[in-house]
Structure formats: structure tokens, C-alpha cells
């Protein structure tokens, strides 16, 4: 809230009263207030509810009064009955003329007259500040180079324990001190060596920087109800020093739930967040939400799942995407990589909880899902993969007539033809594609579109190219074009269509398969080949530490008998001998200096190994097929160039998204592109571009009261039920989902990071 004591444009009495009432109503600890009363501040009349905090009333009136122990979302710490208080909010009132009172400890009464700018008030505030700074390193507040200091070195050679901390640019104490003014006889800070804890999860605690404002104590014990903080005292040469610390030696032993609310309200650098990126402040507060390309409100649906409210949880998911069944099985879950619980033990199984919610869908979301009347506009979608289907879904809901063209015999794209059915069963794909069809979307299968002119001649008003990355990159070694060498997209497509080991198809696993590559797609190829009875090697040129495949994919390979061989790279492929169709020669590698990706570069040692195999699968990359008839600009790799904000190509009325723009990416990124394209195309077709939906009508939000639970931070990940490795010879789904009690237990491990952004910013002094 910006305030100015000398503002020339004064708000009306009604506006000022409304502001006071609003701020008073935000103060925890007061549920009811009395009738409106009139009072004055520096001669100006205001109205506030009787019983409202005088400090809140003054601030709401646009008049800044310094304070550090009070926060807009907390009851004043000085009212906890434990002493303390910053004593900075000095004012004079008509009840004690000529004397200083503290606004945070007073309530508004009828006829009260308040003064905020008298000399005795300034003196009282500076005296209170001097007491605070006597227990806090403060050379940073008066140093001539404080704005330009690099923090790593001190031009004035101050001792390390009194130098500027990393929080200096954002320090609330600094801003308050600048406003009040530091008097010359402020005592120097004498270090007493309080603990500085920097080896625990998520945030650091430097008790030397604690000013005993007790905000953290209030939010932890009174608002969150966790109760892991308490007052500590230590005797110093200057007397008793009080600070706030944990009730046990560590955060974990104290029962901390790592919600980080204490960090959010700390006015100094005593509590600092190692995760928070100040350049991406809001995003880094809730990393799982920020990491989701589609923008799913991850904490909300996870916490609904913890209550067993799966119908509501899936409604939250469906507000951002139409394919929770597919994504609940095959998303690479950037949200899990970002999950802060992973810095304590294991990240939440966010993807698995999405699948659990979809498996238990009550259909609640259907009651609130709307489709607008027909607009008479037509859109053509080229490609029935995740990006194309998503765009079709939202465009159809906006009332446009949509036709999807695809060269294959069925919809799904990568979800059907690039991901084996033991991960995503075809019936799940069919079910979610059918939802798209219920909106009136037309499908034309077996129809390859290589030019757009004919479509526009048919009356389509816009086109969205979503053809994916259908081409597989070669190994680029001698012999990589021999029969029996196949790229990954071709092989997985043949697997999905039931063509592997079928006479006349040209793809036969034989007895031994070599999969070249170390990513998730390599794992899909290897595990699929095992299901045809072949011996399978994954051959990767680096070590496991550099291997990009997910842990669960690697574990699946090992459980199913795939041999993973490291520090080998194919050097040449030749016709086979001794009964093998091919001979493949590998170079033995060792790790050298890091390459452009940051991984150590594999270096040929000169040693070679030659082995017989029957099929070589190149899982080393994919590329987009070029169609000159599209008439759009592409880059050197064949990817279509688009505007980031709309996915519009170089050709008017033509948009593109998914892998044909991104290169090989993920299902969720393609879904996100489908959303962007749908919004942009809708605007082109005369709509407002708003594709947002509210499918959970009750505005359910996380309870701010977390409660105490000493076992919370000791709970390890609860895994879903998996098909036993011995039973994985066919194509039955390997991951079977969660049992109800397990799903709730897993979801309940959430840190509830989404509560922290709801904490209001502290009210700081106006800029000069």
C-alpha cells in the first residue's frame, strides 16, 4: 500500500472510511467490531469500526506509521502477552496528550484525536530504533557504498559478522530505518555468536539477524498452528537478548511443515529462502504450479485428493487440459522435479495423483463445462496429437466448427503411436478422444495434408499445424542405413499398430536388440522389445549420472530385464555373421570435459567391441518433416517459426504448435501450445480469446491452519501399485494406480506452498 503523509489530493471521508474498514477486517483475532466511530488523524476526520486497531486505521487512511512487529495478515505480536514489540509505531492521542502511545496497542474510539508527526514522536521512534539496532548488525544501513556493494568484499573492512547480508536490497528494517533516521549515538552492534543454521532444507536461519519482532512466531503458532517456534533468551554483556528459535534442535525435530510462512513475514535476513528466486518471485513461491506448462493449479488438486475429493480434484485439472487420463500416465511431470518436498526427501507423486483423480472422476466438472453457440467460423487442425486435440477442444467450446486431419487411422498422435500401451492403454486414449468428438469436432483419418491452399479454398478460416516430430534422427555411423536399423518413431509406431514381427513389415526384433540412446524414449523402445521376447541392450555413451531418462523409466528397464550398458557408442554397423543379422562395433568411451549441455563429453578411448545383434533402434532424436506446401518459415532444423505469444506463423491465419515448433518435447508442453493456439485462433475468428474455465464452483481453498504433526516431515513417498515384473510379458498397464488410503497419504505430504503467496506484502514506508 502506497502512502504519503503530504498528499495534496485527499480522499473523501467515505473512501477513507471504506479503506479503514477493509484493513481492520483483515486483522486476525477480531471477528466482530462495534458501530462506526469518528476520529481524527493530524486534524483530518475518519470513520472506522469501534475496536479496530489504531495502527491499521492510520495506515489505511494513507498515513504511514513505522512498525516491524505488526503485519497486515497477523495479529500484532506485541499482543501475545509475552512482552516484546518494536515500539516504533509511536503516536500521540487525545487520551494522553503530550505523551507517546503505541498505535498497535490501541483501539479506535469515538472522538479520538491522533497526531503522528510531532517532535516527541520522532524522538521516541529513533530511540526505539536504536534499541533494535543495538541487537542487529547495522553498518549496512549507514555505509556510503551500501547500494553498490558487491556483498562479497567490504571496502571498509568491516568484520564478516556485521557486513551486509544478501537480503539487503529487500530488507524491511532498512526501509524503516531510512524513514525514521538513525541517530548518531546509536550503540554499535556487538556480535554474540548466536547460531546460524545453513544446512537444513529450504531456508536458512541466522539468529544474529533476529530483531525479536515475533512475526514468525505469530504466523507459525497462531495462524498455521504448527507450533514449532518459541522464544529463546541468552545473556549478553548488554543484558538479556531474546530471539525466536525452534523448539528442538532442528526444523524436522521441531515438527516444521516447511510452508515457509515464517520466511515470508520476516522483516530482516534472519530467515532467508534458498529456493526463492527474486527475479521470478511469484513463480518460485509455488514451484510445482509454475513448472506446469499448462498452468494447472497443482497444490489445489493435490490437497483435494488428500481429502479424498477426487471429483473436485479432477475438475481443477480439467480447468487447464482435456486429457487427464493420458497426462496422468505419461506426463514427464516437471511439477514433480520442481516439488519442494524433494529437497526434504521425495517429491510428491503429482502425476500419479492426477491419474487417481481421473480414475475416480465423479463427473462434477461436466455440470460447469460450457460450449458456446455456433459462430459460423471454421478451423482446420492438421494432426490429431496432443497439441491438435487440445486446440480443437477449446475452439469447439468457443463455438467454432473444427475438423482434424491426420495421416494415421486413429487419433492420439504421440499418446497412441509414440508411447507404448503398457504406459498409456489405447482405451484411455480412445476415451479422451471421444470427449473431443462429443463437442462436434470432425475427424478425417488417413488423410495427409501437405499444403494449405486447398483447405482455405474449402472455406476454412484458420489452420493450426500440429504434425509433431515424425522423423527419427539417424545414428550417423557407417551402416546406419542397413536393413535391420530403424529409428525410434518408426519402431514405436509399428509397435502401436501391431506390425512388429509380422511377416512383410520389415521390422523383426529377432533374438537380440540394441537400443542406442539414454533418454525416456530409449527406455520405451527397450521395454517394448522385451515384450517380444528379445534380449535387449540399452547402449549409452555416458554414465548413469548423465543419463537423461527418468528414474522410474530406468527402474522399469532393470525390473524387466533390459541390460543397460554405459560408456559405449556405436562406431559402425555391418552385415551380420554367425546367425546375427547385423554386427555392431562399439567404441569404449570415457568422460572428458563438459560439453555445451553441461554434461561431461564422452571421449573415444580407442578400444572397440564388436557384437552380433538382429535389430538396432536409433533413439537419439527426432525431427519435423518439412512440407513446402504449408508456406511457412522454418529454422535450420525444420521447426516451424512462430510468435511466442500467439503461435502465429509467417503466414496469416496459420498457426503451429507442439513438437513441430518445439522439437522433441513432452505431452504437457504440446497441450500448453494447444491452449495458446486456441486462444489466438479464437481472437482471429472474432472471439475474445478467453478459454479459461471454472469447473470447481465452490471456491475451495487450502485451510490456512496446518496444525501440529510431528511425523509430517518424516513421511516418505507412497508409491502406486505396480504390476509385478514377472507379469509384464504382455501389454497390460504396468502402473495400476493408487489405493484410496495410499493416495490420500501421498497427497497429504504436500508442503502447501500455495499458502505463502496469499500472505500480503508488508506495508513499508513511502518512497521519498
Render pLDDT for 310-366 as a digit per residue (tens, 0 to 9). 999 999 999 999 999 999 999 999 999 999 999 999 999 999 999 999 999 999 999
> Of 18 and 377, which is predicted with more confidence?
377
Would 137 be classed as within a structural domain?
Answer: no
Task: Among 69, 85, 117, identify where a domain stops.
Answer: 117
Query: In the prediction, which pLDDT does 160 show?
Result: 77
Residue 56 lies in a domain: yes
CA distances from 615 to 511, 513, 574 (A): 9, 5, 12
Contact between 300 and 754 under an 8 Å Cβ cutoff? The reply is yes
Banded model confidence at residue 158, pLDDT cuts 50, 70, 90 = confident
Residue 431 lies in a domain: yes
CB 341 within 8 A of CB 750: yes
> Does the pLDDT value for residue 59 go beyond 60?
yes
* Best-predicted range by mean pLDDT (14-23, 69-78, 227-236, 271-280): 227-236
Residue 704 lies in domain: 285-367+696-755
- The answer to whether 94 touches 113, Cβ cutoff 8 Å, is yes
Residue 255 lies in a domain: no
Q: Which of 196-210, 264-278, 503-517, 711-725 has the lowest mean pLDDT?
A: 264-278
* Residue scoring higher pLDDT (639 or 56): 639
**Domain CATH number, residue 430:** 3.50.50.60
Same domain, 581 and 600: yes
How high is the pLDDT of residue 186? 87
Q: Are 329 and 423 within 8 A, CB to CB?
A: yes
Is it the case that residue 309 has pLDDT exceeding 50? yes
Do both 310 and 425 map to the same domain?
Answer: no
Residue 160 in domain: no
Rounded to whole angstroms, how far apart are CA atoms 130 and 142? 13
From edge to edge, which strands make up the β-sheet containing 90-93? 44-49, 36-41, 113-115, 90-93, 101-102
**Residue 205 pLDDT grade (very low, low, confident, very high; cuts 50, 70, 90):** very high
423 with 440, same domain: the answer is yes
Give mean pLDDT, residues 654-662: 97
Residues 556 and 666 reside in one and the same domain:
no
Q: Which of 84, 102, 117 is at the close of a domain?
A: 117
**Residues 309, 438: one domain?**
no
- What is the three-class DSSP state of 234? strand
The pLDDT of residue 88 is above 80: yes
Q: What is the pLDDT of residues 409-424, one digit of tens each?
A: 999 999 999 999 999 9
Based on the fold, state whether residues 557 and 597 are members of the same structural domain. yes
Closest CA to 541 of 597, 485, 613: 597
The single residue listed with the C-alpha cell 473436485 is: 312
The reply to whether 532 and 496 lie within a common domain is yes
pLDDT tier for residue 3 given thresholds of 50, 70 and 90? very low
* 420/404 Cα distance (integer angstroms): 23
Where does the pLDDT of residue 155 fall: very low under 50, low under 70, confident under 90, or very high at 90 and above? confident
- pLDDT tens digits, 684-742: 999 999 999 999 988 888 999 999 998 999 999 999 999 999 999 999 999 999 999 99
DSSP string, 378-415: EEEEE--SHHHHHHHHHHHHTT-EEEEEESSSSS-THH
* Residue 441 located in a structural domain: yes
CB 165 within 8 A of CB 141: no
Tell me the average pLDDT across 604-614. 97
Q: What pLDDT, in 10s, does the model give residues 500-540? A: 999 888 899 999 999 999 999 999 999 999 999 999 999 99
Q: How far is CA 504 from CA 500, 528, 608, in A?
A: 10, 20, 35
Residues 6+ apart with CB under 8 A from 703: none
Strand pairing report for 568-575 and 582-594:
antiparallel
**Can you give the pLDDT at residue 513?**
98
- The pLDDT confidence band at residue 104, using thresholds 50, 70 and 90, is confident
Within this chain, do residues 491 and 424 fall inside the same structural domain, yes or no?
A: no
Which of the pair, 154 or 411, is modelled with greater confidence? Answer: 411
747 or 25, greater pLDDT: 747
Cα separation, 346 vs 718, whole angstroms: 10
| Residues 536, 528 contacting (CB under 8 angstroms) | no
For residue 575, what pLDDT band results from cuts at 50, 70 and 90? very high
| Residue 376 sits in the same domain as residue 296 | no
For residues 408-440, b (16+ Cβ closer than 10 Å) or e, as one string?
A: bebbbbbbbbbbbbbbbbeebbeebbebbeebe
Q: Are residues 534 and 488 in the same domain?
A: yes
Q: Is 191 among the domain residues?
A: no
Residue 404 has pLDDT above 90, yes or no: yes
Identify whether residues 500 and 593 lie together within a single domain: yes
Domain-located, residue 270? no
Task: Among 632, 664, 684, identify where a domain stops.
Answer: 684
Tally of structural domains, the chain: 4
- Looking up cell 497412441 gives 416
Residues 554 and 639 occupy one common structural domain = no
Cα–Cα distance measured from residue 455 to residue 465, given in angstroms and rounded to the nearest whole number: 12
pLDDT attached to residue 350: 98
Amino acid at each position: 500500500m502506497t502512502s504519503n503523509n503530504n498528499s495534496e489530493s485527499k480522499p473523501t471521508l467515505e473512501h477513507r472510511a471504506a479503506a479503514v474498514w477493509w484493513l481492520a477486517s483483515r486483522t486476525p483475532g477480531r471477528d466482530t467490531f462495534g458501530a462506526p466511530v469518528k476520529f481524527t488523524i493530524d486534524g483530518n476526520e475518519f470513520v472506522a469500526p469501534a475496536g479496530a486497531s489504531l495502527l491499521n486505521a492510520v495506515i489505511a487512511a494513507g498515513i504511514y506509521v513505522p512498525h516491524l512487529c505488526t503485519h497486515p495478515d497477523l495479529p500484532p505480536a506485541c499482543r501475545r502477552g509475552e512482552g516484546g514489540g518494536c515500539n516504533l509505531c509511536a503516536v500521540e492521542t487525545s487520551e494522553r496528550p503530550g505523551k507517546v502511545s503505541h498505535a498497535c496497542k490501541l483501539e479506535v474510539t469515538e472522538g479520538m484525536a491522533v497526531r503522528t508527526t510531532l517532535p516527541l514522536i520522532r524522538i521516541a521512534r529513533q530511540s526505539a530504533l536504536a534499541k533494535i539496532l543495538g541487537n542487529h548488525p547495522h553498518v549496512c544501513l549507514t555505509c556510503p557504498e551500501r547500494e553498490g556493494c558487491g556483498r562479497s568484499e567490504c571496502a571498509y573492512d568491516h568484520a564478516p559478522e556485521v557486513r551486509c547480508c544478501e537480503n539487503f536490497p529487500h530488507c524491511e528494517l532498512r526501509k524503516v530505518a531510512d524513514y525514521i533516521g538513525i541517530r548518531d549515538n546509536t550503540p554499535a552492534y556487538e556480535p554474540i555468536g548466536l547460531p546460524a543454521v545453513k544446512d537444513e532444507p529450504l531456508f536458512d536461519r541466522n539468529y544474529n539477524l533476529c530483531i525479536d519482532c515475533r512475526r514468525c512466531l505469530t504466523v507459525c503458532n497462531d495462524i498455521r498452528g504448527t507450533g514449532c517456534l518459541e522464544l529463546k533468551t541468552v545473556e549478553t554483556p548488554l543484558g538479556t537478548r531474546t530471539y525466536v528459535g525452534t523448539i528442538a534442535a532442528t526444523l524436522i525435530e521441531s515438527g516444521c511443515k516447511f510452508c515457509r510462512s515464517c520466511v515470508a513475514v520476516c522483516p530482516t535476513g534472519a530467515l532467508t529462502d534458498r529456493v526463492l528466486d527474486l527475479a521470478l518471485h511469484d513463480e518460485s513461491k509455488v514451484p510445482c504450479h509454475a513448472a506446469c506448462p499448462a498452468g494447472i493449479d497443482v497444490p489445489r488438486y493435490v490437497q483435494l485428493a488428500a481429502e479424498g475429493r477426487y471429483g473436485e480434484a479432477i475438475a481443477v485439472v480439467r480447468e487447464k487440459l482435456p486429457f487427464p487420463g493420458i497426462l496422468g500416465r505419461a506426463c514427464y511431470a516437471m511439477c514433480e522435479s520442481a516439488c519442494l518436498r524433494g529437497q526434504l526427501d521425495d517429491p510428491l507423486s503429482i502425476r500419479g495423483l492426477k491419474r487417481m483423480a481421473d480414475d475416480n472422476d465423479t463427473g462434477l466438472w461436466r455440470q460447469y463445462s460450457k460450449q458456446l453457440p455456433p459462430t459460423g467460423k471454421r478451423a482446420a487442425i492438421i494432426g490429431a496429437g496432443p497439441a491438435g486435440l487440445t486446440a480443437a477442444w477449446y475452439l469447439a467450446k468457443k463455438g467454432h466448427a473444427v475438423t482434424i486431419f491426420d495421416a494415421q487411422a486413429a487419433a492420439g498422435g504421440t499418446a497412441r503411436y509414440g508411447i507404448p500401451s503398457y504406459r498409456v492403454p489405447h482405451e484411455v486414449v480412445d476415451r479422451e478422444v471421444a470427449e473431443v468428438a462429443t463437442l462436434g469436432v470432425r475427424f478425417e483419418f488417413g488423410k495427409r495434408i501437405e499444403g494449405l491452399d486447398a483447405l482455405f479454398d474449402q472455406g476454412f478460416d484458420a489452420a493450426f499445424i500440429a504434425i509433431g516430430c515424425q522423423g527419427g534422427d539417424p545414428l550417423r555411423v557407417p551402416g546406419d542405413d542397413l536393413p535391420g536399423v530403424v529409428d525410434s518413431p518408426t519402431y514405436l509406431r509399428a509397435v502401436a499398430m501391431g506390425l512388429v514381427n509380422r511377416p512383410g513389415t520389415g521390422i523383426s526384433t529377432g533374438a537380440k536388440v540394441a537400443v542406442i540412446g539414454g533418454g525416456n524414449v530409449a527406455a520405451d523402445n527397450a521395454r517394448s522389445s522385451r515384450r517380444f521376447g528379445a534380449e535387449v541392450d540399452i547402449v549409452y555413451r555416458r554414465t548413469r549420472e548423465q543419463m537423461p531418462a527418468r528414474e522410474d523409466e530406468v527402474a522399469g528397464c532393470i525390473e524387466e530385464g533390459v541390460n543397460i550398458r554405459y560408456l559405449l557408442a556405436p562406431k559402425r554397423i555391418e552385415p551380420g555373421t554367425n546367425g546375427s543379422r547385423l554386427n555392431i562395433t562399439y567404441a569404449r568411451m570415457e568422460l572428458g570435459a563438459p560439453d555445451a549441455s553441461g554434461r561431461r563429453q564422452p571421449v573415444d578411448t580407442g578400444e572397440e567391441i564388436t557384437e552380433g545383434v538382429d535389430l538396432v533402434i536409433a533413439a537419439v532424436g527426432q525431427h519435423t518433416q518439412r512440407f513446402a506446401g504449408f508456406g511457412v518459415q522454418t529454422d535450420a532444423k525444420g521447426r516451424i517459426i512462430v510468435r511466442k505469444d500467439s503461435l502465429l506463423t509467417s503466414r496469416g491465419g496459420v498457426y503451429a504448435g507442439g513438437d513441430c515448433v518445439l522439437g522433441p518435447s513432452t505431452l504437457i508442453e504440446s497441450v500448453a501450445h494447444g491452449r495458446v493456439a486456441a486462444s489466438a485462433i479464437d481472437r482471429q475468428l472474432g472471439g475474445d480469446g478467453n478459454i479459461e474455465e471454472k469447473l470447481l464452483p465452490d471456491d475451495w481453498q487450502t485451510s490456512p491452519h496446518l496444525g501440529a504433526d510431528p511425523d509430517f516431515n518424516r513421511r516418505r513417498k507412497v508409491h502406486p501399485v505396480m504390476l509385478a515384473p514377472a507379469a509384464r510379458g504382455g501389454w497390460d498397464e504396468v502402473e495400476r494406480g493408487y489405493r484410496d488410503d495410499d493416495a490420500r497419504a501421498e497427497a497429504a505430504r504436500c508442503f502447501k506452498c500455495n499458502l505463502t503467496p496469499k500472505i500480503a506484502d508488508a506495508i513499508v514506508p513511502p518512497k521519498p
